[in-house]
């Protein structure tokens, strides 16, 4: 079993949130499971310490007697106490290291206790653990995006001939097809997935101030270089120059997550607008009820997806601000503001991803109503065609759908060649 296989479970990162009432404030929160929870973060931090301790022994910096399996101890940690203790140190890492050392000593593993965390600083552990958590969240989002893209491919194919009124600035414009419309949604999802796929997952390893001085003191320069390779290798991350106060890995995450939320928000808005019964061309299948109105069938999923899209940009802005407010070799607040901001942004992105999948899965397309409205409104929606025909002196063509077939084919082709290497990543 390689270090990276160790699950680092703390009281069980088994898919269950440790904030089970958050759904009262953010309906659907349970979809996030254990992703971006405190439990997940602690588990990831222990995993970082584990891989590092193993590596210290492997490269000969620490004696063989320092080898220890932290997995058992992790299950014994008092997570709530660590959470509370985090204020004194500004992060929980000091308290975590102290707890793990105490537990190692209690079980007679003094040497491991001594060597645990040596050479690292809190930020190494925390930044790396946050990225491990984030990677899990991004994988979950990408799985949903893949499912959504697959679903949209079917929708696009099914409705490439379904006439529908195109609307601009809320008013009927010209005819299009629902397949073309859904092709636009599909491009949006693929754009988002490209942004997520392009994310980088650099290990954070610099020691107290990004120089790896303690590591060199402990292991010599060559040993330090070996450790620089071992930590990311053990965690499936990229080796990287320290990014203690250069936060591009974090801002990219925020930007990509927001790009996904944008794509879903844009779809939700169409479902909401075309789902008004007076339009009645789309219907969110969620059919949420009312506490007082027996007849209500509310587009709950679309509403909740749209909600997430309204909130994401400001969270991503906070991450950029945090990056802009870096200073020295560890920032005085600009670092600390990142953690929960990112956790919430990513968790909500996971939740919205699932809701968007369900929304697309249950979406009802009323092709007849779409077609009827094109017919009823033909006089208006073909006004442009008449003016073009007047220009050419030729009679108007039989249809006025331009290159929708090309556009639909292009979108389908992009979807089919788009790589979703989520599973590959999971093997890391």
Instruction: List the interface residues with its own copies, window 3-32 (CB under 8 A).
Output: 18-31
- Stretch in the footprint of its own copies (CB under 8 A) among 134-142, 284-292, 359-367, 416-424: 284-292
Instruction: List the interface residues with its own copies, window 325-354 (CB under 8 A).
Output: 325-334, 336-337, 339-341, 343-344
Q: Is 296 in the site for its own copies (CB under 8 A)?
A: yes
Query: For residue 19, what are the contacts with CB-CB under 8 A and spacing of at least 6?
Result: 29, 37, 38
- With CB under 8 A as the contact rule, the residue among 35, 54, 91, 232 that binds its own copies is 91
**Residue listed under structure tokens 């949006």:** 188
Catalytic residue among 276, 290, 361, 386: 290
User: Is residue 357 classed as helix, strand or coil in its secondary structure?
Assistant: helix
The region, left, alpha or beta by phi > 0 then psi within -120 to 50, assigned to residue 15 is: left
Angle among Cα 387, 393, 399 to the nearest 5 degrees reads 60
Per the CB < 8 A criterion, the answer to whether 273 and 246 are in contact is: no
User: Is residue 264 classed as helix, strand or coil in its secondary structure?
Assistant: helix
Annotated catalytic residue 330:
yes
- Stretch in the footprint of its own copies (CB under 8 A) among 1-9, 118-126, 145-153, 418-426: 118-126
Rounded Cα distance between 232 and 201, Å, is 9
Annotated catalytic residue 19:
no
Q: Is 262 in the site for its own copies (CB under 8 A)?
A: yes
Q: Is 413 in the site for its own copies (CB under 8 A)?
A: no
- With CB under 8 A as the contact rule, the residue among 13, 35, 113, 122 that binds its own copies is 122
Q: How far is the CB of 2 from its own copies (least distance, A)?
A: 25
How many residues sit in the footprint of its own copies (CB under 8 A)? 184
Q: Is 212 in the site for its own copies (CB under 8 A)?
A: yes
Q: Is 204 in the site for its own copies (CB under 8 A)?
A: no
Catalytic residue among 9, 47, 118, 330: 330
Distance of CA 79 to the CA centre of its chain: 25
- 3 vs 242 by CB, closer to its own copies: 242
- 2 vs 7 by CB, closer to its own copies: 7
Residue 283: what are its φ and ψ, rounded to 5°? -145, 120
Instruction: List the interface residues with its own copies, window 139-168 (CB under 8 A).
Output: 166-168
Instruction: List the interface residues with its own copies, window 164-203 (CB under 8 A).
Output: 166-176, 180-181, 183-184, 187-188, 191-192, 195
Angle between the 178-197 and 404-417 helix axes, to the nearest 10 degrees? 30
- 236 vs 334 by CB, closer to its own copies: 334
User: Is residue 167 classed as helix, strand or coil in its secondary structure?
Assistant: strand
390: how many CB neighbours lie within 10 A of its CB?
Answer: 10
Instruction: List the interface residues with its own copies, window 31-60 (CB under 8 A).
Output: 31, 37-39, 41-42
Q: How far is the CB of 37 from its own copies (least distance, A)?
A: 7
Nearest to 349 by CA among 215, 166, 196, 181: 196
Nearest to 141 by CA among 352, 360, 358, 300: 352
Catalytic residues: 290, 330
């Amino acid at each position: 079993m390689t270090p990276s296989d160790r699950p680092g479970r703390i009281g069980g990162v088994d898919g269950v949130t440790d904030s089970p009432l958050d759904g009262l404030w953010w309906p659907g929160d349970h979809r996030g499971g254990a992703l971006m929870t405190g439990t997940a973060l602690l588990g990831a931090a222990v995993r970082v310490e584990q891989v590092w301790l193993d590596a210290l022994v492997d490269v000969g910096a620490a004696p063989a007697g320092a080898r220890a399996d932290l997995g058992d101890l992790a299950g014994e940690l008092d997570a709530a106490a660590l959470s509370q203790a985090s204020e004194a140190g500004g992060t929980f890492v000091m308290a975590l290291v102290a707890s793990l050392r105490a537990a190692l000593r209690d079980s007679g593993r003094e040497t491991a206790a001594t060597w645990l965390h040596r050479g690292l600083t809190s930020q190494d552990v925390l930044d790396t653990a946050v990225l491990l958590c984030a990677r899990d969240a991004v994988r979950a989002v990408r799985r949903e995006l893949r499912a959504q893209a697959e679903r949209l491919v079917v929708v696009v194919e099914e409705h490439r001939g379904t006439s529908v009124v195109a609307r601009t600035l809320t008013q009927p414009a010209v005819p299009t097809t629902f397949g073309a419309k859904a092709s636009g949604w599909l491009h949006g999802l693929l754009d988002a997935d490209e942004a997520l796929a392009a994310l980088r997952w650099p290990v954070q390893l610099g020691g107290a101030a990004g120089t790896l001085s303690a590591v060199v003191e402990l292991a010599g320069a060559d040993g330090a270089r070996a450790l620089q390779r071992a930590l990311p290798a053990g965690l499936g991350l990229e080796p990287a120059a320290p990014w203690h106060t250069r936060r591009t890995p974090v801002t990219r995450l925020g930007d990509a997550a927001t790009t996904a939320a944008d794509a879903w928000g844009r779809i939700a808005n169409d479902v909401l607008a075309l789902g008004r019964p007076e339009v009645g061309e789309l219907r969110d299948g969620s059919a949420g009820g009312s506490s007082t109105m027996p007849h209500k069938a509310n587009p709950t999923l679309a509403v909740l997806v749209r909600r997430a899209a309204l909130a994401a940009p400001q969270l991503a802005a906070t991450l950029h601000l945090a990056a802009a407010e870096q200073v020295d070799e560890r920032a005085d607040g600009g670092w600390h503001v990142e953690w929960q901001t990112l956790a919430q942004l990513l968790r909500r992105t996971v939740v919205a991803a699932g809701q968007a999948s369900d929304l697309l899965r249950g979406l009802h397309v009323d092709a007849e109503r779409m077609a009827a409205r094109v017919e009823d409104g033909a006089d208006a929606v073909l006004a442009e065609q008449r003016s073009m025909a007047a220009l050419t002196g030729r009679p108007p063509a039989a249809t006025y759908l331009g290159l929708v077939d090309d556009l639909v084919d292009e979108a389908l082709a992009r979807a089919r060649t788009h790589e979703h290497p989520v599973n590959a990543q999971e093997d890391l």
